[in-house]
Chains A and B, each alone.
Chain A
Amino acid sequence: MAHLIRHKLSNKLTNAAHTVSNKSQAKVSGVFARLGFQAATDEEGLGFAECDDLDYDYRQGMQMDVLPGEDEGPPAEGEGEMDGDSHYQRDGTGPRPSSLKTGGSLDEDKPKITTWEAGWNVTNAIQGMFVLGLPYAILHGGYLGLFLIIFAAVVCCYTGKILIACLYEENEDGILVRVRDSYVDIANACCAPRFPALGGHVVNVAQIIELVMTCILYVVVSGNLMVNSFPGFPVSQKAWSVVATAALLPCAFLKNLKAVSKFSFLCTLAHFVINVLVIAYCLSRAREWAWEKVKFYIDVKKFPISIGIIVFSYTSQIFLPSLEGNMQRPSEFHCMMDWTHISACVLKGLFALVAYLTWADATKEVITDNLPSTIRAVVNLFLVAKALLSYPLPFFAAVEVLEKSLFQDGGRALFPDCYGPSGQLKSWGLGLRVALVVFTLLMAVFVPHFALLMGLTGSLTGAGLCFLLPSLFHLKLQWRNLLWHHVFFDVAIFVIGGICAISGFIHSVEGLIEAYRYNIHD
């Protein structure tokens, strides 16, 4: 009897101790919650991830029997149930690498991309057409421009990594589980207690604007390059843009990232050829290099635009969540990011420096204007090929974002699913994709001063998605795990990103006003 009472007393004491500690923890959490920080880990998210796994396995087990020609083969009549059960048990162990919030489409059937293919995609995104404006940036910025190229690469690599870190949460066993699938999910998780969908909507809109503007820019650039390559033909820039769009129509049939990666690989090859051509030509004039002309001071009026060109050319964060989700070995993601950013930084820096040294003060805004006409013709053709081959990646990403947000089954979104039961694209889904391609053509043809407009939106959405939002989300979601220097980096990146965005916005607005006024007077 006595030990019963002792047992009860000890239980009561331990319970009391637990409640006290829980209350104090709750108080601290409450303070943090009021401050807006999510002090507790996203255990809810973890739980959902596991539920989703079970749900997914259950459905996968069912659908494996319905579809003919799957890996497991069509089951015989009597064994149907057993196969389904064995799937259920076999795949139920262990945490899934990708949670399945989209039930309808069979994500597992999409082929995974290798690390190399993810690398080509990232290189497509960060080594874009803006490399042609880098020597002009060095003209006005000198050594500071070179330093910025390296610094921007480091910062963007870091923000890419912290963005992917936001997709993962630690479960009870200490294993990292991928609880979120996309940028939108991260934004929703950050605004979770008060505004569960606001963050997602903001990020959706920013992503769509950024991706569609990139697509339109490629159409504009290819039209412009063709007009400059063939001035004798009576074909205007608008006509060339229509021709380019006709060449880009097959992009509407893209199904998965593997096909896009092939285009990105070809694009990287074309970019490499352009770099080699220009650098080789500059090296052939190495005797005339003007080393003393690289400045230490900066031209305050013209350099801020160059800052925009340098900094916003490393924007690949939009593609990273879906790239990482589709990789066969997600653990190699960090290695891939490092190598792609190092190679981009080295190539860009070398290109900019060598081209500037060759032409010094005569360097034009687009370096191809400085080249002699034969090399310029060849480089122009490769640039057109590069622009057309770069188009599939932002187009596919835009289509994915639109489909996930607007076209889902079961009333989750406004419209029904674009894909049929067997994963095939419905014909009206194809029609919508073609409509998106035609929309990019119409915007390219009818919007004047597109480059300035792109600078305006780029400085808002680009800076937001690449610098401001990753650091903000990282601080909010991983607050408990961060060391002091991570917090310092995140805050510093947020501040620097904000400054770049504001300065880019002001200069773009000035440029647009001046161009508009010049047009009116003309």
Chain B
Amino acid sequence: MGRLGFSTTESTRLLLLSVFGVLVLSVVLAEQEGENLSGLSTNPDKAIFAVRENGTTCLMVEFAVRFLVPYDVLALNGIDLITEQAPFTLPRGAEIEGKCGSTESEIHITWKNNAYTLRIYFSTEFRDKGTEVWKISKVQFVYDTSETSHFINAYNPGKHTASTHRLSALVTPAGHSYVCAAQQTLTLISSDHQKGVTISMYDIQIQPFDIASDFIFSEPYKCITDQRERLEETLPLILGFILGLIIVITLTIYHFHLKLTAVQPQLPRDRSMYKNM
């Protein structure tokens, strides 16, 4: 039966070859590259990152991010530990990696030689009434407190990871990009004694799925705060218009009231009334 089947060594070799081939294929097919387009942004704090696949953009992220990371510092007495806060922003010159999918996407932003990594995970889901939405499902932030430009005299320096638990943020209907000028804040729990890391994003425009054309966002979906601001801005104009109407109506009513109740000048009927003229 040697002629009918392959020998075990040959089958393993074939298996290895096929696996290797699949891997090569997948690498060739995936071809996802991260692009840093922050030079296009007008705001010096705002960064623009894109993940491209097969020659077209599949994930675009445009925001300005501020981090507030607490870390421990040894006090002057040498015994107590004080918690200091390190504020810093996401630099424009960061490296991008990302993965796009139909239901899940992610983007990894690293800077300072992998001392800091920000990973944002997006996913889609179906809400009741059959509408499809996408949202941020997880955010992970890796930071190294031995990095001296932001962390000064950290106690026990080392790498820590802060991540979210069951997050559902920036919920947007499918096929739209999320736009928000106001500040959105997320709090992540760090592996460093459960400290809270605050990430604030503003001037956001994000789209992780269904990008129609290269580097162009789909239809924007405004966040609630921006919608409210627009209402706040138009309300004085509407009220002013109503006030103007009230004024015009009042003046015309008064004018006609005067006309109707005007005293007629009396013509003198007697010489004794001439002095009244």
A234 touches B250 (CB 8 A): no
Please determine whether A81 and B272 come into contact, CB atoms closer than 8 angstroms: yes
With a CB–CB cut-off of 8 A, which chain A residues contact B231?
A: 234
Give complex CA distance A234, B239 in Å: 13
Q: 1/0 per residue A72-99: CB within 8 Å of B?
A: 0000011011001000000000000000
Question: Is B8 an interface position by the 8 A CB rule?
Answer: no
Q: Is B258 a contact of A427 with CB atoms below 8 Å? A: yes
Q: State whether B251 touches A434 (Cβ < 8 A).
A: yes
B236 within 8 A of A: yes
Residues of B within 8 A of A13 (CB): none
Give the docked Cα–Cα distance between A246 and B266 (Å): 40
Closest B residue to A66 by CB, please name it: B276
Q: B266: which A residues are within 8 A, CB to CB?
A: 66
A373 lies within 8 A of chain B by Cβ: no
Asked if A490 is at the interface (CB within 8 A of a chain B CB), the reply is no
Chain B: which residue is nearest A238 at the CB level?
B236
Q: In the complex, what distance in Å separates the CA atom of A249 from the CA atom of B247? A: 8
The closest CB in chain A to the CB of B238 belongs to A239
B272 touches A430 (CB 8 A): no
B255 at interface by CB-CB < 8 Å: yes
The answer to whether B276 touches A77, judged by C-beta atoms less than 8 angstroms apart, is: no
In the complex, whether A424 has a CB less than 8 A from a CB of chain B is: yes
Q: Looking across the interface, which residue of chain A has its beta carbon closest to that of B230?
A: A234
Q: Contact check, A239 vs B236: say whether CB atoms are below 8 A apart.
A: yes
Q: How far is the CA of A77 from the CA of B231 in the complex (A)?
A: 69
Select A235's contact among B235, B251, B258, B270, beta carbons within 8 Å: B235
Q: What is the minimal beta-carbon distance from A228 to any residue of chain B, in angstroms?
A: 15
Instruction: Answer yes or no: A283 CB below 8 A from chain B CBs.
Output: no
Q: Which residue of B lies closest to A445 (CB)?
A: B236
B232 near A235: Cβ-Cβ < 8 Å: yes
- A18 at the B interface (CB under 8 A): no
Contact with A along B96-133 (1 / 0, CB 8 A): 00000000000000000000000000000000000000
Let me know if B247 and A80 touch, CB within 8 A: no
The smallest C-beta distance from B30 to any residue of chain A, in angstroms, reads 46
- CB of A243 closer than 8 Å to a CB of B: yes
For residue B254, which residues in chain A have a CB less than 8 angstroms away from its CB?
427, 430
CA distance A20 to B232 in the complex (A): 82
- CB atoms of A234 and B232 under 8 A apart: yes
Flag whether A422 is at the interface (Cβ < 8 A). yes
A515 → B minimal CB distance (Å): 23
* A 147-176 binary contact with B (CB < 8 Å = 1; else 0): 000000000000000000000000000000
CB distance from A470 to the nearest CB of B (A): 38
Q: Which of A80, A236, A246, A421 sits near B235, CB closer than 8 Å?
A: A236
Q: Is the CB of A424 within 8 A of B273?
A: no
- Over the window 420-448 of chain A, the binary record of Cβ atoms lying under 8 Å from chain B Cβ atoms (1 yes, 0 no) is 11101011001100100010000001000
In the complex, A81 Cα to B276 Cα: how many Å? 10
Compute how far the CA of A239 lies from the CA of B235 in the bound complex, rounded to whole angstroms: 6
What distance in Å separates the Cβ of A326 from its nearest Cβ neighbour in chain B? 25
Bound complex: CA of A239 vs CA of B234, how far in Å?
Answer: 9
**Chain B, 207-255, CB within 8 A of any chain A CB:** 228, 231-233, 235-236, 239-240, 242-243, 246-247, 250-251, 254-255
A234-B232, A235-B232, A434-B251 as given contacts; A242 in contact with B240, CB under 8 Å: yes
B246 pairs with A249, CB closer than 8 A = yes
CB-defined contacts of A421 to chain B, threshold 8 Å: 263
Size of the A side of the interface (Cβ < 8 Å), in residues, is 30
Report A229-273 CB contacts with B as 1/0, cut-off 8 Å.
000001110110111011001000000000000000000000000
- Within the assembled complex, what's the spacing in Å between the Cα atoms of A245 and B239? 10
Tell me whether A426 and B258 are in contact (CB under 8 A): yes
Please tell me the size bucket of the interface on B.
20 to 34
Q: Are A236 and B251 in contact (CB under 8 A)?
A: no
Q: Does A417 reach chain B (CB closer than 8 Å)?
A: no
**B243 contacts A242, C-beta separation under 8 Å:** yes
CA distance A21 to B173 in the complex (A): 103
Q: Which residue of the partner chain A has the closest CB to B255?
A: A427
Given A81-B272, A422-B263, do A246 and B246 touch, yes or no (CB 8 Å)? yes
Query: How many angstroms from the CA of A438 to the CA of B240 in the assembled complex?
Result: 10
User: Are B276's CB and A246's CB within 8 A?
Assistant: no
Judge if A65 is at the interface, Cβ distance under 8 Å: yes
B251 touches A431 (CB 8 A): yes
B243 to chain A minimum Cβ distance, whole angstroms, is 5
Q: CB of B275 within 8 A of chain A?
A: yes
Other-chain residue from A65, A234, A241, A445 in contact with B228 (beta carbon distance below 8 A): A234
Chain A: minimal CB distance from B219 (Å): 24
| Chain A residues with CB under 8 A of B270 | 77
**A241 surroundings in chain B (CB, below 8 A):** 236
Q: Are B272 and A77 in contact (CB under 8 A)?
A: yes
- A62 in the interface (beta carbon within 8 A): yes
Which residues of chain A are within 8 angstroms of B235 by Cβ–Cβ distance?
234-236, 239
The residue in chain A whose Cβ has the minimal distance to the Cβ of B241 is: A242
Cβ–Cβ < 8 Å partners of B255 in chain A: 427
A62-B239 CB under 8 A given contacts A246-B246, A427-B251, A431-B251: no
Contacting pair B272 A78 (CB below 8 A): yes
Chain A residues with Cβ under 8 A from B236's Cβ? Answer: 236, 238-239, 241-242, 445
Interface residue ranges of B59-109 to A (CB < 8 Å): none
Specify which chain A residues have a CB less than 8 angstroms from the CB of B276 in the assembled complex: 62, 65-66, 80
The residue that A80 contacts in the complex, of B233, B240, B251, B273, with Cβ under 8 A, is B273
Across the interface, which residues of B come within 8 angstroms of A422, CB to CB? Answer: 263
CA A241 to CA B272, docked complex, whole Å: 58
Q: Are B243 and A245 in contact (CB under 8 A)?
A: yes
From B233, B239, B251, contact of A430 by CB (8 A): B251
Question: Which of chain B's residues has its CB closest to A438's CB?
Answer: B247
How far does the alpha carbon of A435 sit from the alpha carbon of B14 in the complex, in Å?
Answer: 93
Question: Do the beta carbons of A249 and B263 come within 8 Å of each other?
Answer: no
B239 and A242 contact, CB distance less than 8 A: yes
Contact B272 A424, beta carbon cutoff 8 Å: no
A434 near B239 with CB under 8 A, answer no
Which residues of A are in contact with B by a Cβ distance under 8 Å?
62, 65-66, 77-78, 80-81, 84, 234-236, 238-239, 241-243, 245-246, 249, 420-422, 424, 426-427, 430-431, 434, 438, 445
- Which 6 pairs across A and B sit closest by C-beta, in order of nearness? A427-B255, A238-B236, A242-B239, A239-B236, A239-B235, A236-B232
* 20 A-B pairs in the complex with CB atoms less than 8 angstroms apart: A62-B275, A65-B276, A66-B266, A66-B276, A77-B270, A78-B272, A81-B275, A234-B232, A235-B232, A236-B232, A236-B233, A239-B236, A242-B240, A242-B243, A243-B239, A245-B243, A249-B250, A424-B258, A426-B258, A434-B250
Apart from A239-B232, A245-B243: 14 A-B pairs, beta carbons within 8 A: A62-B275, A66-B276, A84-B275, A235-B235, A236-B233, A236-B236, A242-B239, A243-B239, A246-B242, A249-B246, A422-B263, A430-B251, A434-B247, A438-B243
